[in-house]
Chains A and B, each alone.
Chain A
């Protein structure tokens, strides 16, 4: 131990240079800021970051879509809903607010 190191006011002559060669980090993905982790798709009742029934992998294979009304669903879920609606004669409506369903290009920025 040098005496300088015990004295916080004395400037230490030793300096450090750090070269970062690699960072292997870990992250999780989400569907963005306006869907929280606890939100579930109202149709299948599973998390948006999870999968719709019958789909094996989340993410690209089970995307989330937004309607013009701002409500979000798994693509497979809302499709199933819309097909069912078309069969029973009704038009395609949002499963939540019953407004006319239209896919939104934006991500539910309302």
Chain B
């Protein structure tokens, strides 16, 4: 202050005029301020002097009046000290000091109703229907609306005092409007631009008029509004991610736009999106009622969707982790995947045929599972944001170079972290298919194996190739053998009617091999065939897998009635060789007890009863108190009418015995475990598991079992009295008492 500095230089004897003037000035200022405050509080009192529940329009009118009074406040004569700025401050203070608790909420309602009103006006213009005008800004004229916005800029409350209700109303309305525009609409393109258009048409003018054009530009309101729209877009979509995935690929437009909207927002939404997506999957998909096929289908769609949204695969990894974990626990997962992979209408078959198919790398599969499990407080690593351009600001420059870019097959195979499991499962399915292939036609299988070779590697498919070649060779053998067989057949025997799939058993999964004795009519066919084979392929011999195969029979039941007429009933039946043998015995003798039949066929009673149920269901044989007998022609006839094709479950048995397969695989490790225990004494499960993982690294028997699988196997060994398990979970060798 220049006045102060001059006072220190003036003489002390002079009367202190400065003090005098200062005091006067202060008094005058106080007077003015008091007058200002008085008028302000007067205005404020007037402002609030209304019934408590006034409609938003009332508030608007009062604001207009208040702003007018502020502008034309002429009753203060001291012009220079009562600048508009000072009076505004005083008035604002007075008003907000008196504001009732509901004041903020009233404002929010007012803002909202104004927004909705202009939205409805716009909406009518766009859609041309004027039925619903649910929001009432009761009878505010357009002139009044204009005045209100003008008053707001005069009072300048929006940016400071009314920040909260103003923002809330913007967000709420934006969310509602975006929701009404896009919800459940997945297949329309251009929804996001439409939302942005709406922003330009409604939000921008509203905010411009509320805060004034200058601060609109200064405070970058346009960017903030765009962000709000993007955010609303993402939030609406994150409620319906599951449907979005379920409707893929029809939902492709929505996926693209969601991705674009995500680009416009940042970190926080990535996180909540990942969280919601994951929860959606867990709640709606991963329950016992869902079929494995379904889960895999959704998983595949999810991969496809996420692959589009985030090429790095990190989002994908986080979102689908529970699905992978869940699938791992289901028994038929591998089978479902392989089925889908090999059947032409399967989802994965298409994936298998992709031109850019790359071999699955073991390292890549391991990599997926060895990472720290992402938890719910997963945060998108900077790399995602960088890639997506959120950090660098170069939106849309998403590279797809990442190694883990959601190759569906490797994601699925990665569930187990090992491709062996899949190859084995495929072998089992292939075995079933080949053995029930009555035409010896392998073209389709050759094609599939070629495709699988591209992904799983030549080496893994070696055994499958041998299996297919076996069937091809069997066809050749049959055509070579048929001629001599036909010539040698004596007239009283059946004509030769046997063909055989001859397998190189080392390369096949373990096949069912319960021993039994066939009926002479079938056995002689087999013997003749085997003899010819031995001649053709000396020194090789055949060993029949008696339970397997397929027989076509013509069954004729006949009786001679009292008058000497023959009545008969004929039907054709397809069954297994075992069934055929059983029935063939009834040709020799129409009644058999279980014991007799069991002795004759060398089958267990239990198995025999199970097989005979087939003929009972076929209405050829009936069960009696003592055993089985043929049913009468009359009964057979009448049953034919009510015949329902009943599939005997056992009849459709898989050729491959699953249990045997698992067991055999595990047996390899038994010697390792026994060796370990005899050296180290007592060891807990985890340690056995780690040690097997470390030491069993041979190419043939890489140890890939989970601790659970190992535990089951160890229990088995305990049952076989090879090991024992102490109460504290330590395993050791059971000492033989000699």
Contact = CB atoms under 8 A, between A and B. Distances in A.
Contacts of A8: 591, 593, 624, 626-627
Nearest to B495: A20
A30 B537 CA distance: 11
B518 to A, nearest CB: 10
Given A13-B560, A29-B537, A29-B541, A24 B633 contact: no
B655 interface: yes
A87 B365 CA distance: 46
B63 interface: no
10 tightest A-B CB contacts, nearest first: A26-B548, A28-B505, A19-B554, A23-B498, A21-B552, A17-B556, A24-B550, A107-B539, A25-B549, A27-B542
A87 B268 CA distance: 74
15 contacts: A2-B635, A5-B629, A6-B625, A6-B626, A15-B630, A16-B586, A20-B522, A23-B497, A23-B499, A24-B500, A25-B549, A27-B545, A28-B508, A49-B504, A59-B473
Interface string A22-48: 111111111111000100000000010
A53 to B, nearest CB: 12
Contacts of A23: 497-499, 522, 525, 549-551, 577, 580
Interface string B455-493: 000000010011001000100000000000000000000
A27 B503 contact: yes
A95 interface: no
Interface in B530-578: 530, 533, 537-545, 548-560, 572, 577
Nearest to B538: A107
B624 A6 contact: yes
Given A16-B557, A17-B558, A25 B498 contact: yes
Contacts of A26: 435, 500-501, 503, 511, 544-545, 548-549, 655
Interface of A: 1-2, 5-6, 8, 12-33, 37, 47, 49-50, 56-60, 64, 107
A12 B627 CA distance: 13
B622 A5 contact: yes
Contacts of B640: none
A24 B558 contact: no
Nearest to A12: B590
B632 interface: yes
A11 B55 CA distance: 102
A30 B522 contact: no
Contacts of A18: 521, 553-556, 580, 583-584, 587
A2 B632 contact: yes
A24 B462 CA distance: 26
B658 interface: no
A24 B586 contact: no
B631 interface: yes
A15 B500 contact: no
B542 A28 contact: yes
A22 B558 contact: no
- Which of A6, A16, A21 has the most C-beta atoms of chain B within 10 angstroms of its own C-beta? A16
Contacts of A19: 553-554, 556
B245 interface: no
Contact of A12 (B497, B542, B629): B629
Nearest to B438: A24
B502 interface: yes
A22 B572 CA distance: 12
Interface string B359-397: 000000000000000000000000000000000000000
B506 A56 contact: no
Q: Which of B511, B540, B635 has the most chain A CB within a 10 Å cutoff?
A: B540
Given A17-B556, A23-B499, A28 B590 contact: no
A29 B500 CA distance: 11
B735 to A, nearest CB: 29
A29 B540 contact: yes
Nearest to A23: B498
Contacts of B473: 59-60
Interface in B586-620: 586-587, 590-591, 593, 620
Given A8-B627, A14-B632, 8 more contacts: A6-B625, A14-B633, A16-B620, A22-B552, A27-B501, A29-B540, A31-B539, A60-B473
